[in-house]
Every structure is written in C-alpha cells, then in structure tokens.
Amino acid sequence: MDSLPAHMRPDRSFQGLILALQRYWADYGCVILQPYDMEVGAGTFHPATTLRALGPKPWSAAYVQPSRRPKDGRYGENPNRLQHYYQFQVILKPSPPDLQELYLKSLAAIGIDSAVHDIRFVEDDWESPTLGAWGLGWECWCDGMEVSQFTYFQQVAGVECAPVAGELTYGLERLACYLQGVDRIMDLNFNGREGADKVTYREVFFQAEQEYSRHNFEHADTAMLFEQFRMAEDACRKYLAAGWREEGNRKQHLMALPAYDQCIKASHVFNLLDARGVISVTERQSYIFRVRELAKACGEAWVHTEAGGAA
Amino acid sequence: MPDLLLELFSEEIPARMQAKAADDLRRMVTDKLVAEGLVYEGAKAFATPRRLALTVHGIPVRQPDLKEERRGPRVGGPDAAIQGFLKATGLASIGEAKIQSDKKGDFYIALLEKPGRAAIDVVAEILPVIVRTFPWPKSMRWGARSAKPGALNWVRPLHAITATFGLETEAPDVVKFSVDGLEAGQTTYGHRFLAPGAINVRRFEDYEAKLLDGKVVLDAERRKDAILTDAKQLAFAQGFELIEDQTLLDEVAGLVEWPVVLMGSFDAEYLSIPGEVIRATIRNNQKCFVVRDPKTGKLANKFILVANIEATDGGRAIVAGNERVIRARLSDAKFFYETDLKTKLEDRLPKFEQIVFHEKIGTQAERIQRIEHLVAEIAPLTGADAEKAKRAAKLAKADLLTEVVGEFPEVQGLMGRYYALAQGEDASVAAACEEHYKPQGPSDRVPTDPVSVAVALADKLDTLVGFWAIDEKPTGSKDPFALRRAALGVIRLIIENRLRFPLYERAMLHALLFAERALSEFEGKVAKSARSLDFIEPGLAKSLQHRAHQLAWSDAMLERASERFDALTKDLLAFFADRLKVQLREQGARHDLVDAVFALAGQDDLLMIVRRVEALGKFLDTDDGRNLLAGTKRASNILAIEEKKDKRTFDGAPTPALYSLNEEKALAKAIDEVKAEAGAAVAKEDFAAAMRAMAKLRPPVDAFFESVRVNDEDAKVRENRLKLLNEIRVATRAVADFSKIQD
C-alpha cells in the first residue's frame, strides 16, 4: 500500500479503496466482473453469485455491485443511510480452507493492521427470504464497526450448495468512512485528490439521493409498479417454461439467465412498492413468497445449464 | 491412570452456543466412556471462540474383561444344534465346551471370555462418532468436501483435532482417528493475531499453559473474572462505577480469547437521551458496558469495551474506532428521541388503524378501543380514577410507533413513560404507559399504582379473551402469543394487589366486544336456535343484554351466542385455574389443597381461592384438622363401599325420627350448627373462622365412629346413618372438597 500514489490510497480515496480490493482479489485469481446491469438490493443478487453459487463447478469472482434499497433513502440527510450504495462482493466456490486468512489479508491490503485494530468475527446467520437462500457466518467487526459480511452459503434459490461457496461482502461506504476518518458518507473523498481537484461523494451522489428518495417514497408510480411486478413474474415463468429441453433422458435448460433477470426485476419492483407503503404486512409475506418461488424455479433451471454443472 | 485431552479447533463459534457446547462435549464423551466400562475420575470442558476442549482424567488403561457362560444344546442332541452352537460361540470343537448337569439333564456350556480392549482404542472409536453427531443448534458444511454425501457438519469450519491419551508421567499417545479427512493429532494454534503459530501439546496441563503463553485464556470463567475485575477497576480509577450486566459479560467472554478491557467516552451532550436508551444502544449494538457516577447514580459519558488483542499502540486506535461507532449510534438515538418528542402520543394513534394486531382479531386501533372500554369498567375494582385509567389505556401503546422503540424494541413502555411525562401527562398515566406490560414473568415486579394495575389487567384480559374467542389457545409447548404469561400476569396482579375481581363476569362481557370481529369464527359454533339466558346469573344477563344493545345486536343473536360465550369463558377460567395451580405449587402450596378448593363450584375469585387454600393448609396442620380429615375420609370410604353395593347414592336429609343413639343425634346437631356457622363465615369471607367451625365437627364425628355401627340390620336405620355420613361430606364442602386432599 505504501507504494501507491497518495490519490490511490484506500485511506484517502473511495475509488482507491475499490481498486485496492479489486487488485487484491485479482491477484488471488478471481475473475473481476463489472456490476450487473440491473437494479438489485445487494451484491448477492448478481447472477455471478446467486446462480454461480449453484452446481459443482469451481468459481471465483469479485465485483462491485451498486445496490438499491429504496426504503433506506433519507433524502441524503442521514450520515450513514443511503438508498443507493456500493457493495464489494467476493464469491469463492468451493470455499477455500483459508478463507478467513484471505479475508484478513484483504483488510491488510486496504490498510487495516490487525496489530492495532480489533478484528472480530461475530455470529450472524444470513438469510434471504426472497432468494430462498441461507448460510452461516459472521459480521466482521473492526474496532466495533461492522465492515463486512462473511457467509458460507448452504442453500441458494432453494438448492443445496454442493460444494459450499464462501461469500464476502464489504460495505464500501462504511469501510471508506472508517479508513478516511469521516463521519458522513457524503463527506468521503471520492477520487483521492485534494484542493480544486477533489471530488466528494456528495458531489457525485447527493442530488441522486434526494431525487430517488422523492421518487421512492412519494412519486413512484404504484399502478405501473404493480403491473410491472405482474409482468416480470409472468415473463419469468414464460421464459422458464420455454427454456426446458429434453434429449433422451437428459434434461437441459437453455434460458435460465433471462428468466432470472425477471426475478431480479420483480424483487426490485417489490422493494419500491414496499417503500411506497402500499403493501400491507400480510401482503408483504405473499410478495416475498412469490419472488422466492421465481428464484427457486430459476435455481432449478440453472443447475440444468452448462455452467450450472449439467454438461 | 491415563488422562484424555481433546480439542476441537474451529472458526469462530457463536458466543451464545459455547457454554452448552462445552457441556454437551463433556456429557457425551463421559457417558460413552462409562457405557464402555471405562469409569473415569473427573472431567472438565472448556470453550473459547475458536475451540472446544475437554480433559478427562483417571481413565483405566483397559476395559475390564467380560466373562460369559452360554448354555448350549443337550449332550447327545441333534448334530445341527451342536454345529449351530459351535458357530455361535466360536468354539473349534465340542470338546472345548464344558458339560453341566441339572434336573433336566446334561448340557453343553461354552465359557466365553471377551478380553477388555485398550482404552485408547475405545476412545478412538467413540470420538469420531461424537464429532459427527454433535448437537449444535445450527451447523453447516464447507469447502470442497461439502459436495460429497456424508460431509461433516460443524458449527463453523473445523480445522484441527487434538486428541492425546496417556499417563501423567509419560509422553501421551495420539488417539488415532479421523473425521471427514481431518486426522487427530497434537497440534493446535494460539491466538489468531497475537500468537497464530502452531503449538505442540501433550496433555491438559501443558495444553492450558501453552495456550496461555499463546494468549488464549481457555476457561470462560477466568475470562469473565478478568473482564469484570478489570472493568470495575478501570471505572473506579476514573471515579465511576461499572453497571454490571451478567448477560453481556457472558456474551463478551465468548467473543474474545485474550480479553483486554479499555475505556472510551462519548460527548456529554448525548446524556440528554434517556439512560436506558444509551445503555440499550451501547450494549446491544456495540456489546460494551456503561458506567455511572456513584454520587448521582446517573450514567456517565463513558463506556467500557473488551478487545481481543493487546494492540501495539496500547489500544488507542481501538478506543478511537469504538468511540466513532458509538458516537454515530448515539447521534442516531438522539435524533430519534428528539424527533419523537415533536409528535404527541395521541397524534400517533390514527396510524394504528392500519396496523393489524391479528388477522382475526383486527387492528391495534380496535384493540386499544376495547382496552379503553374495559379499563373504564374495571377501574373501580382497582381503585383507579376512571378518567386517568382511560387516558393511560389510550396512550399506552403509542410509543410502539416511535422511532426509538422501532430501533430498540426492549425500551417499549419505558419510552411511553418518558414521552407521556414530556407532554405533561399525569404521573400515574405516564407510569401506566410503562407498567401496563408488567409483570412480564414470574420474577418481574407487579405494579401497584391503581391506574397501572387497571390498564395492565385490561391489556392482558383483552389479549386472553380475544385469542380464546378465535380459538387460538396455547397447546403443549406452543404458546406463540405468550398467553400463559398473560394469564399469570392477571393472577399476580389480582392476588398481589388483593383485588376482588369477578373474572367470569368480566371475561364474559368482554367477549362480546370480539363477537363482531370474530363473527365468522362464531358462526359455525353458535346454537342454531335461541336459548334463554336463564342459565346466566340475572345481573350479568342484564349487563350482557345491555351491551348487546349497544352493539346493535338483536336479543335473538345474543341468545344464540350466549352458550358459546359461556363455554369460552369457562374454558378461559379453567386455564386461569391451571395457571394458578402452577403458581401456588411453585410457591410451595400443596397441589391437593388447590385441587380441593377448585373442586368447589363457581370459583372465579382468585383472591378468595388463595385465601381458602391458605386457611385450609393451616387448619390441616392442627390436630382437629387432621382428625376431621380422617373422619371425613372414613365416612367417604364407607359411603363409597355401600353406594357400590346398593348401586345408589345416599343424598338427601336424614330422618331425625330414625336416630336411636345419642351419638347420632349429637352428630346431626353438630352438622346443622357447623353448616350454618361455616356458611356464615364463608359468606363473610372469614375462612379461618369457617375452619374453626369445621373443627367443632371433630368430636361428634369421632364419637359417632366409636359407638355407632353404620350397617345396622334394620335397612331403614342403615340408610339413615349413611345419609348422615353423607351430610358430613356436604358440610365440609362449605370450605373444600376434602376427598381431593391427600393424607
């Protein structure tokens, strides 16, 4: 890290932090992907995690995923909460025996020295009811702050993971706040420059937070969204049905990915409806159930594709 | 004798599971050893975040030899039988068998000797099975092997197994076994950051010592002691006092192998937040302790954290980091609190119309309305001002909609009190906002302020009657709505405040309020035709009619539903009776006395039931009581026999003209007197006096049995005497059903 120019240092620059993590995991041998081009609630939704976690084939990937949680919008006013933020996601299948050490080294790579900082693995069982997924692991604490999620996937999209994949999720804004020593995400130095060249997180995202908060809570067109949910659900089922091929006794699926896109769509539309407060407590469960059913059907299709291990 | 050392070294074990896991490990290994004939001297288990360890000392070197005689076929028996015997016993020829004679003839006997195996071999068989079947509350698979069927499940990935066995004086042997590719050995590892290197261990003593060198305190109790001592000292040195918290201490000790206690501070401006909220924030989210100023008893702007490392900078970065997180948390809490204060509690209420309490029972808003209604009616019973009680019932749930309670559910109620006081509510009203949830359990405090008592009772009764109305009662271990706790709460509120509370009437009337909501539930169950309300006490019947009219119900509808209301109310009372029994038994009252009182009809006044049980207990401790009980039982036994013989009962008044002996007359007279006297005393609720009256029965009962032969030859006299015996039973029922009392 000392060899880096100042503007690339993770403790000075938000993008420097992202680049340092990418470099570390690239050195380890991960495929460095770009964000998935759809709205998702978390990096886990990226098919590179959800679908690739399934099936027997080894898979190591890392990527940044912009994540949208419409309900967490605070018009840019809350120091720690945003409706749009970045996650850095690492998925390693099968989970390597030294995954904890790899993780700790990644912290060292971004300047967190375990001789000075108190790093802890605190129980946190992860479950995603919408994805039909669960795993065991921890929240990783650095000096009392949760900086990552660490999960050994046991089941995803209703399918048992065999072998198990290890998933690391770094909350980038929070980690950057810690490294840069600032209290508000908006105050982060984005590009690591100083003076006139400095670009802050506020300059990049404050207006977006305001606009999307207005949209998410006040104006998102609920009639359209209800319709979109229904359409995405229908389309997902249609593509799934159309994708099955049977040759002899071999069953194959040829359209798992496009079908899964519609599942992601439905999930995000549901999150928007939820933020708008137009879904009652009881309805909420049934929407979650409907998305989960889509996710499970996609998982089932995926394990009958080539990358899913069918070939 | 040799010792066993076992360590299972893994990734971080959840703190809440560690103590039980250590206990399970000890129990499973020692149970198996004993089952294998290896009786050990002692065992102790330990847990840290990364390891479970067990030492068992004084295990015999070998299992004892087992000798067994197996009886075979008769000498000269069929060849097939003899061949079978040889095969089963492993004898080479029948010549190796002994011959034994008994009355039935000569038989072959095989002497089988099963030599005991070396204990280390037995242990090597036991341990992998225990690892594979270990009862973790949640376990997982990991790594490449997880793709294969039969992969090991453990709480988190298991990395190393240490297992050694041997005498104290010699180098122990490794217990040879493997689980899912993991070979047992004698290598473990020290602290993750402070001493991560491999450690070669031999036996428990050097294991524990080497771990300590490797910055691992093996024993959770030692870690707790160290944390507590250091935390107290650190607080004291700065002029503060640690607020002790056992649950937090247990948890924190399960998060570190090398506890290092540090103190941090936060801006004093946050002390404007209620102390409970500060503590909840710091404790729940950050797992840190708080301290108070011993002079004022108030929270100080300090916290105590427990780190897992001795940092090279002395902990400066750790403290600074924790301070930042806590500052952010408190800043949120302060913002929530101040935002909450801007809205009056009553202005939050409309939102409850959108919040479903239970699908079949309706919204929170409806629930609050019912509670207000009920509280107004029962306020006189608790001595509360009805207006204040209604106001409290109206506001008591409003804090559920505040930001602070949304964030920290455990301060519900308490925040209601803060917000009520802040908006200038009466002190009793504010107190009831907090206390109406009480008592939460058998050890929780019972409120005494009449307003709190009234709202607490109304809240719990509404819940109970509501769930009874929709037939959602606790079954077995399932009690998702904590109805047992609610019933116990009602019981304790009534008894500890010595309230006269007619439960049947209140519950019955309240049930009507659910009828509208639960109509669909009722529909299938109500009687097809109307039934008069005759079976209900007239005063209550009138109140029911009145309420039905208020609800715009027809008389016919009420009459049709009345039986259902009666049934559910009685069922609810039976539930109360059960809970009361459990409660009295736990307090040491004899359960048979409780049964004896409950066996009387129409017992719905909990306070009176308890008083009766108390008086009965005292009475039975006296000579008179014991003897009267014996006399009553004797009468009952005789009656039981004769009733069986004659296939009839001997109810009804005896005929005085048939009395021939003085003892009969004296008993009859005493029974009449005692009945009247005890009846009057019970009416005045003076159960001690009723028992004293009962005591007067003893001499005539004793004298009767001494001199009178019940089974007289004259059938009429016999019948009359049996009727007189029955009268003894009847008389004692004024206080209790004596037949339910055990000797």
CA distance B430 to B424: 9
Domain carrying residue A268: 222-302
CA distance A8 to A138: 29
Q: Does B15 touch chain A (CB under 8 A)?
A: yes
Which segment of A26-35, A226-235, B394-403, B573-582 scores lowest on mean pLDDT?
B573-582
Question: Which structure tokens are listed for A262?
Answer: 């519609």
Q: Tell me whether residue A98 is in a domain.
A: yes
Average pLDDT over residues B458-484: 90
Contacts of A94 in chain B (CB under 8 A): 142-144, 146-147
The reply to whether A195 and A228 lie within a common domain is no
The reply to whether A209 and A230 lie within a common domain is no
Confidence band, pLDDT 50/70/90 cuts, at residue B531: low
Is B285 a residue whose pLDDT tops 70? yes
Q: Does A154 touch chain B (CB under 8 A)?
A: yes
State pLDDT tens for residues B17-68.
999 999 999 999 999 999 999 999 999 999 999 999 999 999 999 999 888 8
Burial class (CB in 10 A: 0-12, 13-18, 19+), B212: middle
* Number of domains chain A contains: 2
Q: Tell me whether residue A311 is in a domain.
A: no
Q: Which CATH number do you get for residue A287?
A: 1.20.58.180
Torsion of CA A259, A265, A266, A271, to 10 degrees: 150
Specify which residues B44 forms β-bridges with. Answer: B55
Contacts of A176 in chain B (CB under 8 A): none
- Residues of B339-370 as b/e, b for ≥16 C-beta within 10 angstroms? ebeeebbeebbeebeeeebbebbbbbbbbbbb
State pLDDT tens for residues B137-161.
999 999 999 999 889 999 999 999 9
Do the Cβ atoms of B138 and A100 come within 8 Å? no
pLDDT at B99: 87
pLDDT at B533: 77
The reply to whether A59 and A111 lie within a common domain is yes
State pLDDT tens for residues B595-653.
888 888 777 889 988 888 888 888 888 888 888 888 888 888 888 888 888 888 888 88
Do the Cβ atoms of B145 and A163 come within 8 Å? yes
Q: Tell me whether residue A307 is in a domain.
A: no
The reply to whether A118 and A229 lie within a common domain is no
Q: Does B145 touch chain A (CB under 8 A)?
A: yes
CA distance B729 to B640: 12
pLDDT at B69: 84
8 Å CB contact between B318 and B259? no
Average pLDDT over residues B202-218: 96
Q: Which CATH number do you get for residue A30?
A: 3.30.930.10
Nearest-neighbour CA in chain A from B325: distance (Å): 6
The reply to whether A181 and A48 lie within a common domain is yes
Q: Tell me whether residue A1 is in a domain.
A: no
pLDDT at B513: 84
Contacts of B16 in chain A (CB under 8 A): 123
Q: What is the DSSP letter of A41?
A: S
Those of residues 453-512 in B touching chain A at CB distance below 8 A are none
Do the Cβ atoms of B308 and A118 come within 8 Å? yes
In the block, tokens 């690239």 appear at: A26
In the block, tokens 């079976």 appear at: B535
Q: Does A183 touch chain B (CB under 8 A)?
A: yes
State pLDDT tens for residues B399-432.
999 989 988 888 899 999 999 999 999 999 999 9
Tell me: cis bond preceding A94? Omega within 30 of 0 counts: yes
Contacts of B14 in chain A (CB under 8 A): 123
Q: Does A125 touch chain B (CB under 8 A)?
A: yes
Contacts of A143 in chain B (CB under 8 A): 317-318, 320-322, 325
The reply to whether A114 and A50 lie within a common domain is yes
State pLDDT tens for residues B479-526.
888 999 999 999 999 999 999 999 998 998 898 888 765 555 555 555
CA distance B581 to B594: 6
The reply to whether A20 and A168 lie within a common domain is yes
Do the Cβ atoms of A143 and B14 come within 8 Å? no
The reply to whether A28 and A169 lie within a common domain is yes
SS3 content of chain B, % helix, strand, coil (to 5): 55, 15, 30
- Comparing CA positions, the residue from B472, B569, B474, B471 lying closest to residue B512 is B569
Those of residues 246-265 in B touching chain A at CB distance below 8 A are 255-256
In the block, tokens 């005045």 appear at: B684
Q: Tell me whether residue A309 is in a domain.
A: no
The nearest alpha carbon in chain A to B307 belongs to A118
Query: Which percentage of chain B shows pLDDT scores above 70?
Result: 98
Q: Tell me whether residue A79 is in a domain.
A: yes
Query: Between vectors from CA B178 to CA B176 and to CA B180, what angle results, nearest 5°?
Result: 180
What is the overall mean pLDDT for chain B? 90
Domains of chain B listed by start with CATH number: 3-61+118-213 (3.30.70), 66-114 (no CATH), 220-335 (no CATH), 347-588 (no CATH), 598-740 (1.10.730)
Is A281 a residue whose pLDDT tops 70? no
Q: Tell me whether residue A308 is in a domain.
A: no
The reply to whether A170 and A92 lie within a common domain is yes
pLDDT at B98: 86
> Which of B142, B147, B157 is nearest residue A56 as measured by Cβ atoms?
B147
Which segment of B511-520, B540-549, B574-583 scores lowest on mean pLDDT?
B511-520
Q: Tell me whether residue A283 is in a domain.
A: yes
- Boundary residue ending a domain (A216, A241, A263): A216
8 Å CB contact between A300 and A241? no
Nearest-neighbour CA in chain B from A52: distance (Å): 15
Q: What is the ipTM of this complex?
A: 0.95
Do the Cβ atoms of B318 and A116 come within 8 Å? yes
Contacts of A116 in chain B (CB under 8 A): 311-313, 317-318
Confidence band, pLDDT 50/70/90 cuts, at residue B712: confident
Confidence band, pLDDT 50/70/90 cuts, at residue B387: very high
pLDDT at B524: 56
Nearest-neighbour CA in chain A from B5: distance (Å): 25
CA distance B444 to B482: 15
Q: Does A94 touch chain B (CB under 8 A)?
A: yes
Q: Does B275 touch chain A (CB under 8 A)?
A: no
- Comparing CA positions, the residue from B191, B164, B188, B162 lying closest to residue B175 is B164
State pLDDT tens for residues B326-346.
998 898 889 889 989 999 999
**φ, ψ at A164 (rounded to 5°):** -70, 140
Q: Does A138 touch chain B (CB under 8 A)?
A: yes
pLDDT at A277: 81
SS (H, E, C) B62-96: ECCCEEEEEEEEECCCCHHHHHHHHHHHCCCCHHH
The reply to whether A41 and A109 lie within a common domain is yes
- Boundary residue ending a domain (A166, A183, A216): A216
The reply to whether A283 and A182 lie within a common domain is no
Those of residues 280-309 in B touching chain A at CB distance below 8 A are 286-288, 305, 307-309
Do the Cβ atoms of A125 and B138 come within 8 Å? yes
Residues in CB range of A69: below 8 A, 6 or more apart: A41, A83, A85, A271
State pLDDT tens for residues B112-128.
888 899 999 999 999 99
Contacts of A55 in chain B (CB under 8 A): none
Radius of gyration of chain B measured on its C-alpha atoms = 37
The reply to whether A124 and A264 lie within a common domain is no
CA distance A162 to B97: 57
8 Å CB contact between B45 and B53? yes
pLDDT at A2: 62
pLDDT at B247: 94
8 Å CB contact between B305 and B288? yes
CA distance B370 to B366: 6
- Comparing CA positions, the residue from A150, A216, A205 lying closest to residue A173 is A205
- Boundary residue ending a domain (A193, A216, A239): A216
Average pLDDT over residues A165-193: 95
- Comparing CA positions, the residue from B654, B647, B464, B697 lying closest to residue B571 is B464
